[in-house]
Amino acid sequence: MNFLEERIIKDGTIKPNNVLKVDSFLNHQMDIELMDRIGEEFYNRFKDCDITKVLTIEASGIAIACSVARCFNVPVVFAKKSKSINIDGEMYIAEVESFTHKNTNSVIVSKRFLNENDRVLIVDDFLANGCAMQGLIKITESAGATVMGLGIAIEKGFQIGGRVLRNLGYRLESLAIVESMDHETNTIKFRETVAV
């Protein structure tokens, strides 16, 4: 098991409806040493890609994005969730259905912060059905920028997002892939991944 899988086993909680709670170390209270390790790991995996920006979605992707961006020495851009339907021409926009909140948000990025010269690494804390990632890919491609890779801390491999994105040809790296998890028995199985 790698460092993130070990931490999930130790401090994660399996909730009903395929939700894994990791709020004691990843997305509410945050273990910054763990964040730094995650950042370094993504840097090692994508350092050949000449990344110019790290893109994520608010809120829980931001901390991971900051750790990654520090390693690459590039800015973080995060897509903002906007309830407003007043979209001016200065924004890239995508519709993203939230897995956890079961609602749809317009997510926006100012055109000032992404352009056709950018080589973008998109990161997030979780991958489930892939809606958040698809929205961020759409925004990147609307800007004429290049998606160099997708970095996910925890992929739930039993949901479709990972398969769809890999089939589309994106380079997707997940640090921990949950193959199955069971709320009743409190058990979790990981897919074999590259050791980190």
Residues forming contacts to ligand 5GP in the complex (CB under 6 A) are 19-21, 27, 57, 60, 99-100, 124-132, 161
On whether the CB atoms of residues 130 and 161 are closer than 8 A, the answer is yes
**Which residue, 52 or 60, is less far from ligand 5GP as judged by CB?**
60
**Which residue, 47 or 189, is less far from ligand 5GP as judged by CB?**
189
User: What is the closest distance, in whole angstroms, from the C-beta atom of residue 115 to ligand 5GP in the complex?
Assistant: 25
**Which residue, 51 or 176, is less far from ligand 5GP as judged by CB?**
176
Whole-angstrom Cα distance, residue 139 to residue 116?
A: 12
DSSP codes of every residue in 128-174: SSSHHHHHHHHHHHHTT-EEEEEEEEEEETTSSHHHHHHHTT--EEE
User: What is the closest distance, in whole angstroms, from the C-beta atom of residue 38 to ligand 5GP in the complex?
Assistant: 15
Whole-angstrom Cα distance, residue 111 to residue 93?
A: 10
Place of tokens 């608010």: 58
User: What is the closest distance, in whole angstroms, from the C-beta atom of residue 54 to ligand 5GP in the complex?
Assistant: 15
User: What is the closest distance, in whole angstroms, from the C-beta atom of residue 150 to ligand 5GP in the complex?
Assistant: 11
**Which residue, 20 or 76, is less far from ligand 5GP as judged by CB?**
20
**Which residue, 60 or 67, is less far from ligand 5GP as judged by CB?**
60
User: What is the closest distance, in whole angstroms, from the C-beta atom of residue 164 to ligand 5GP in the complex?
Assistant: 10
Whole-angstrom Cα distance, residue 196 to residue 2?
A: 5
Would you report the helix, strand and coil content of the chain in percent, each value rounded to 5? 30, 35, 35
Whole-angstrom Cα distance, residue 80 to residue 107?
A: 5
